[in-house]
Amino acid sequence: MKVLILPDRAAAIARVAEIIVAQVSCAPASVLGLATGGTMLPVYAHLREAHRGGLSLARITSFNLDEYVGLPPDHPASYHCYMRENLFDGTDADAARIHLPRGDAPDPQQEADRYEAKIEAVGGIDLQLLGIGRNGHIGFNEPTSSLGSRTRVKTLTEDTRMANLRFFDDEAQVPQFAITMGIQTILSARHCLLLATGRKKAAAVRGMVEGPVSAFCPASALQMHPRATVVLDPDAAEALTLRNYYDHIHPGGRSRLYSELHRG
Ligand code: PGA
């Protein structure tokens, strides 16, 4: 796991945006796995800015991590709506290659299976963007999710429902279920890129980076991934025991690879 601790929140966000822009610039037909949540809003603002500066998203294919069961794509709290408003409407992304699970599918499990098959059919995800929940979830894989799981229907914890209450009119409106990529679906991506900012995420970040690999902290499964990059601001990194070591390897969150240091 590559742990990059940036000097502040804005720098952490910019670093993640820079990695995504580099991916799309180098491989314009990349398959991106995309995330929602408050943390990603400024990342998408950077991508829209990059688009105005000349970056084309016209050839990307994208798959979002999850969607609430029961919400149609035009529901204002749906992730379909979030993605249109916060990223796609401001770019040249091709609607035909943008994928999110349909929360209003008549058979949500069948929809989950169809979604998983579609990811496989395009050859898998090149770069998977991830946030992390305060309880360690990635996607909507709540604690005790199978580490071998694929896209399926998950019951949300009360903690997650309350964390997302701000996007709904009242508590009764917050869905109980979501269709989410599974942990194994996420681990199948060729590169996983997780962004966490703020003190509220510090305990989950510690579990993910330094805890045992455990379904109790689903993000800890990233320890098994050969190419996982975790980008943090100092608040999110606050509980890490080996913080000095991560700073030593990547000062200020910059890449400082062994091979670069020992060139020649
Ligand atoms: P947040 O959500 O960015 O709104 O904190 C992250 C997540 O739950 O994955």
Distance 130 CA to ligand 1 centre (A): 9
Which stretch of DSSP H or E encloses residue 261?
Answer: helix 258-261
Q: Please, are residues 231 and 244 in contact by the beta-carbon 8 Å criterion?
A: no
User: What's the CA gap between 220 and 208, in Å, rounded?
Assistant: 4
Confidence bin at 255 (pLDDT 50/70/90)? confident
Side chain identity at 38, as an amino acid letter? G
Q: Does residue 15 sit within a domain?
A: yes
Q: Does residue 256 sit within a domain?
A: no
Q: Does residue 243 sit within a domain?
A: yes
Tell me, yes or no, if 66 is annotated catalytic. Answer: yes
Confidence bin at 263 (pLDDT 50/70/90)? low
Q: Please, are residues 200 and 166 in contact by the beta-carbon 8 Å criterion?
A: no
The DSSP annotation for 35-72 comes to --SGGGHHHHHHHHHHHHTT---TT-EEEESEEETT--
Q: Could you read off the pLDDT of 72-120 as tens digits, one per residue?
A: 999 999 999 999 999 999 899 999 999 999 999 999 999 999 999 999 9
Distance 80 CA to ligand 1 centre (A): 16
Q: Does residue 132's CB lie within 6 angstroms of at least one atom of ligand 1?
A: yes
Distance 255 CA to ligand 1 centre (A): 25
The mean-pLDDT minimum among 126-140, 148-162, 201-215, 245-259 falls in 245-259
The closest of 180, 183, 163, 182 to 171, measured between CA atoms, is: 163
User: What's the CA gap between 187 and 200, in Å, rounded?
Assistant: 25
Token duo for residue 8: 């502040």
CATH of the domain at 216: 3.40.50.1360
Q: Does residue 211's CB lie within 6 angstroms of at least one atom of ligand 1?
A: no
Q: Ligand 1, residues 39, 43, 158: which to mutate, most atoms within 8 A of Cβ?
A: 39
Q: Could you read off the pLDDT of 9-60 as tens digits, one per residue?
A: 999 999 999 999 999 999 999 999 999 999 999 999 999 999 999 999 999 9
Range of the domain at 229: 2-250
Q: Please, are residues 151 and 187 in contact by the beta-carbon 8 Å criterion?
A: no
Tell me, yes or no, if 159 is annotated catalytic. Answer: no
Tell me, yes or no, if 113 is annotated catalytic. Answer: no
Q: Does residue 182's CB lie within 6 angstroms of at least one atom of ligand 1?
A: no
Q: Does residue 139 sit within a domain?
A: yes
Q: Does residue 260 sit within a domain?
A: no
Q: Please, are residues 61 and 122 in contact by the beta-carbon 8 Å criterion?
A: yes
Confidence bin at 262 (pLDDT 50/70/90)? low
Q: Does residue 32's CB lie within 6 angstroms of at least one atom of ligand 1?
A: no
pLDDT of residue 264: 42
User: What's the CA gap between 170 and 151, in Å, rounded?
Assistant: 28
Q: Ligand 1, residues 16, 36, 181, 186: which to mutate, most atoms within 8 A of Cβ?
A: 36
Tell me, yes or no, if 142 is annotated catalytic. Answer: yes
**What sign does the CA torsion over 66, 76, 204, 6 have?**
positive
pTM of the model: 0.96
Q: What is the SS3 assignment for 141?
A: strand
pLDDT of residue 261: 53
Q: Count how many domains the chain has.
A: 1
Q: Could you read off the pLDDT of 221-237 as tens digits, one per residue?
A: 999 999 999 999 999 99
Q: Could you read off the pLDDT of 166-206 as tens digits, one per residue?
A: 999 999 999 999 999 999 999 999 999 999 999 999 999 99
The mean-pLDDT minimum among 11-25, 39-53, 129-143, 247-261 falls in 247-261
Q: Does residue 257 sit within a domain?
A: no
Q: Does residue 38's CB lie within 6 angstroms of at least one atom of ligand 1?
A: yes
Distance 261 CA to ligand 1 centre (A): 36
